[in-house]
Amino acid sequence: MVADNKTVGASPFQLSMRRLRRDKLGMASFVIVLLFTLTAVIGNFNVFGLHDAANSYNLENRYVKALSSWSHPLGTDNFGRDVLARAVMSTRISLFLGAAAGLFMLPIAILAGALSGYYGRWADSIILYVMSVIVAIPGLLIIMSLVQVLGRTFFIIALAFAITGWVGLARVVRGSFIQSREYEYVLAARCLGAGSFRIIFRHILPNLSHFIIVRFVLNFAAIIKSEVLLAFLGLSVLGVPSWGNMIDESKQELTAGHWQNLIAASLFMFTFLAALNIFGDSLRDALDPKLKNSSRKAGHK
């Protein structure tokens, strides 16, 4: 008898999404992440004149105090640009860079991890060697040199983050493949005559999707932080407002009592990163409920 249609034929992923929807904090942070995403998309167009407000110089109107006028709620900066507009517009570079770098590294990491974990032997040795070399050099150094040599464009920076960032995910994927290739359902699939390609992509990889999704979200947050650092060092995409730029500028302004840049940038960055991390945790709990229970039990002891 099939009584309850809602639970019959629900894939583990669908069950996870159902759990996620019940997680209030997770959903709240998801809404915040969505709002930021919307902001980033809007940032591509001059909605509400935000783009102009963030980028047009008005030297008559420098350092307007925060909370003093409706036209500039958070005041203006050194060049008379609206600080709130700049903080909002900065979302765009952070978010798109995080997404692009993540999408660049995903195929590299999955392929490298899958090949080395599944095949082992010389494939594993070569890939492990490459990974060790990349890890041995400080990531920021690689990024900075790539950006210096190849140019401060969006594409190059995203690529630089991908080149340094794929190793972590690839290691996790590799470990999971080493574990999974011994599972009986993999043996069963081979018994049916499935080839390696089919086993890697149809059998093992779907079982790791929860890992990969969670890593992608947390990685996203890490890239945003790195971008801020890069912009603070003056090496991020040219001519685009970024939280890192704003914090960099505030370095000199703070001593003169102009704190609006620092506060606005930090506030936006903090909100976004906190929401992203909380959402990432909720996602992990929803996708891997066993993990959550075991950590809770450990916490109560």
Partner 1 sequence: MKQPLLEVKNLQTSFRTEEGLVRAVDGVSFSLRQGEVLGLAGESGCGKSVTAYSISRLLPMPPGQFDGGEILYKGRDILGLKEEEMRRIRGREIAVVFQEPMSALNPVASVSAQIEEALAIHTSLGKAERKERVVHLLARVGIPDPAQRALCYPHELSGGMRQRVMIAMAVSCDPSLLIADEPTTALDVTIQAQILKLIQDMKNETGSAMLLITHDLAVIAETADRAAIMYAGKLVETAAVKNLFAEPAHPYTRGLLNSIPVLGSPGRKLKSIPGRVPNLIDLPGGCAFANRCELAGSRCRNEMPRMVNKDEGHQVRCHLHDGGVK
Applying CB under 8 A, the residues found at the interface with partner 1 are 1-2, 7-13, 183-185, 187-195, 198, 202-203, 206-207, 209
Q: Which residue has the tokens 């909002």?
A: 88
Residue 55 has phi, psi (to 5 degrees) of -115, -15
How far, in whole angstroms, is CA 49 from its chain's centroid?
28
The distance of closest approach from Cβ of residue 189 to partner 1 in the complex, given in angstroms and rounded to an integer, is: 7
The distance of closest approach from Cβ of residue 182 to partner 1 in the complex, given in angstroms and rounded to an integer, is: 9
The distance of closest approach from Cβ of residue 9 to partner 1 in the complex, given in angstroms and rounded to an integer, is: 4
121/301 with CB nearer partner 1: 121
Q: How far apart, in whole angstroms, are the C-alpha atoms of residue 272 and residue 31? A: 11
8/67 with CB nearer partner 1: 8
Q: How far apart, in whole angstroms, are the C-alpha atoms of residue 22 and residue 9? A: 20
CB atoms within 10 A of CB 125: 11
Q: How far apart, in whole angstroms, are the C-alpha atoms of residue 243 and residue 268? A: 8
Structure token pair of residue 244? 């890192």
194/263 with CB nearer partner 1: 194
202/251 with CB nearer partner 1: 202
Q: Is 203 helix (H, G, I), strand (E, B) or coil?
A: helix
Q: How far apart, in whole angstroms, are the C-alpha atoms of residue 120 and residue 114? A: 9
120/175 with CB nearer partner 1: 120
Q: How far apart, in whole angstroms, are the C-alpha atoms of residue 125 and residue 116? A: 8
The distance of closest approach from Cβ of residue 220 to partner 1 in the complex, given in angstroms and rounded to an integer, is: 24
Structure token pair of residue 291? 């993990």
The distance of closest approach from Cβ of residue 285 to partner 1 in the complex, given in angstroms and rounded to an integer, is: 18
Residues of the chain by 3-state class (helix, strand, coil), percent to 5:
75, 0, 20
209/293 with CB nearer partner 1: 209
The distance of closest approach from Cβ of residue 171 to partner 1 in the complex, given in angstroms and rounded to an integer, is: 22
